[in-house]
Structure 1
């Protein structure tokens, strides 16, 4: 899709705590963590499904799929009965899944002719579709781990609104609908957002640890994806996505997902994110002088390090970003594009031969506990951001109002990333993701 919209995750201007992300003007996004509270998951699944049915559903998920990757990871999922194909951004940094539902026709201000509608879901064609009444607990949850602003319309149907950073908004209704994972496997009816007014071409598949996320509602205990490399930001490549066991997991290396007690209230912490025990950063053979505490939540939750498929770039708090920039300036300082800041956050950018500059910088690695690391080879250490400019792919999170370290999909390329929810761990394994998707 040209020009591709990135990540499609949004900044909500509410006083409510909620995990979200936002669109940046330079076509990339950042998952922006705010405070949530984790609650048990099973009791919130549809009451119409008994325990044995849940176990059968859980054990039956073993699905290999794919996604298209330019800046976002976009999966195509059959939704409803009979299924209608919907494109959704695979986002481990948000909770609510939502689809486009018959968006209103918009007119071009110059020609007054209607724009072509995006491919949207038609509820009238699905026998498994139902609206969520205002009396449903998800509309006004007793435990505020999902504080999506909701209201009741005149028909007592649960209505929600998302406000975007650029002043626009998306709104719709909360509904229940099935997702078909294969010809023989489908989920029970899940709670989704049905957006009726949105400028975005895709929906969202919310994959975090919240009780209304797709894994929690569908009782998926393991999923993984492999993000391929891309030549430039205008190209689209195909990656692999698994629900259930991954056949390559024997060579994965695992780190624990850090969890936080419900009683531990920290304003800058997202307890539903996939938080990992990062230890440091290496550039070439140099281990940067960054204390490991910089990558851990402080008393207010700042410094949390999370893995987020919904953010294109990686973002670091100032204490880490400054050390990275000092080393890059030492290696290739005269070549930095002066006065250029990508997305108001990334200022380690260059004109000229990206391969040559990459050789001067060398490999980069994110180091975690247990000796696990993500290595970005020097050939890919710079990312194409358009206009002949290449950047290190790291932004300063505090410039954007965030207080977290976020590992974006640009630094998950050629890696299997496995989310083993049953064992509270994340697995990483190097791979040729483009070849695996063929």
Structure 2
């Protein structure tokens, strides 16, 4: 993960995962709106009033209430992380995003607690004791910066549902930003399969979301809501392994990518390019905390070459070997700024075990903000990147390619479901608008 792009929305949170299967009691479903939000590039300064350490791309945010009395907070939805965390303050005399001193239900976790000590065996940066003998954690990012704070418990509220003693990170240090847009985001909602994740602690057996698009509303559902207007889903099973492997994340939503088709042509690649090796490298993760999608080198190269071949005469290639968008995307095009719509492009279909996701139209090309060539041409880049340039050994399906797809994460049946759907219509049908 040498590039800053992967760290922009996807944190590497070094907390040991407990793999026991949770028990999911029956409870009513809960509907929440989600919103895409641009998180600006942050400065390198640190401050007790630090903002979220995201870079300049898009995140998915959802509003909740935390504490007693409830404080309104906004969290980034991240299926690639475990620990949920909030920005807190060490001082009662300083304004903060979440003020633990104003909540009667806030409680710190001592470093002698099993929650702290049982998660230190595999940590590159183990949990430790601070000067107050509280459980101290450090979250490390791919750009070698970090944020730190203490594990704590608090009451988490979603509608009428209240979950007391919810374990989260109360983070004090991080990056600072004066951006108004940045200041609207309080923390991160870790949604993977780990025992400390939001969905595990809230004990919902299923959650779903639907993303409308950039700066648009979406919907997040906890539970099993009956939706008669939703088309049937195609399911792919979660990939699980019994033995720990150094390059396999056992609490990620890992599914099996079997092939890629461009238009009507299948990429001519061996099965071994999509399967795990003996170290666990080569898994495919569904990650709402990453914007774009990334493929291992040989697969990326094959896709890039085929897409380039099929767009000859349709698009003008940016022939600049020194320009690689965000360090991972080296296939870019020139499009006249006055042009309203992109030309018809070949559909890229991702083939999973039992399911297929088609990426088409504007989801295939991303306009580089503020970049104009020749005084009249905007630059658009192919929205698949090279994992090798990130220093990771995985396929990652980001949320840009999940737009207008109903995404269902069925924990009880260990599967992920997909179906194409206009997510703005889903929000309208459910009576949910922008946050």
Q: Does 1:216 align with 2:193?
A: no
- The aligned runs of 1:280-291 (5 Å cut-off) are 280-291=259-270
> 1:329: Cα distance to partner?
2.3
| Partner SS, residue 437 of structure 1 | helix
SS in 1 for 2:308: helix
TM alignment of 1:34-45, pairs within 5 A: 38-42=18-22
SS at match of 2:413: coil
Report deviation, 1:328.
Answer: 2.1
What's the CA shift for 1:378?
2.8
Which residue of 131, 136, 142 corresponds with 1:159?
136
- TM-superposed deviation, 1:310: 0.5
**Contact residue 29 and residue 313 of structure 1 kept, 8 A:** no
TM-score by length of 1: 0.80
Partner of 1:434: helix, strand, or coil? helix
Quick check: 268-277 or 27-36, which moved more?
27-36
Deviations 1:31-82 (A, max 9, x none): 669996652154xxxxxxxxxxx87xx3224100011114111111111111
CA distance in 2, matches of 1:152, 1:143: 12
The 3 A distance-change label for structure 1 pair 34 and 178 is closer
CA contact (8 A) 2:262 2:348 kept: yes
Q: Is 1:63 paired with 2:43?
A: no
The Cα offsets for residues 139-159 of structure 1, whole Å up to 9 and x where unpaired, read as 121684777632212221111
Q: Does the 8 A contact of 2:13 with 2:139 survive in 1? A: no
In the alignment, what sits opposite 1:363?
347
**Residue number in structure 2 paired with 1:420:** 410
Match of 2:240 in 1: 259
SS in 2 for 1:240: strand
Distance in 2 of aligned mates of 1:31 and 1:152: 23
Change (3 A) 1:319 1:356: farther
Contact 2:15 2:120 in 1 (8 A): no
| Counterpart residue number, 1:18 | none
Question: Which segments of 5 or more consecutive residues in structure 2 lack a partner in the other structure?
Answer: 38-57, 177-181, 371-377, 429-435
Q: Which residue of 2 aligns with 1:94?
A: 81
1:351 and 1:250 map into 2 onto residues whose CA distance is: 37
The counterpart of 1:310, out of the listed 289, 302, 308, is 289
**Other-structure match for 2:373:** none
Paired residues for 1:16-415 under 5 Å: 24=4, 28-30=8-10, 38-42=18-22, 58-70=25-37, 71-102=58-89, 120-141=97-118, 144=121, 149-182=126-159, 184-199=160-175, 201=182, 202=185, 203-230=187-214, 236-248=215-227, 251-261=232-242, 264-332=243-311, 335-337=316-318, 338-339=320-321, 340-353=323-336, 359=343, 361-370=345-354, 372-387=355-370, 388-415=378-405
The structural deviation recorded for 1:345 is 0.6
Quickly say closer, same or farther: Cα 1:139–1:152, change in 2 above 3 A: same
Count of residues in correspondence between the two structures:
385
Unaligned runs of at least 5 residues, structure 1: 1-10, 12-21, 43-53, 106-115, 231-235
For normalisation by structure 2, the TM-score amounts to 0.81
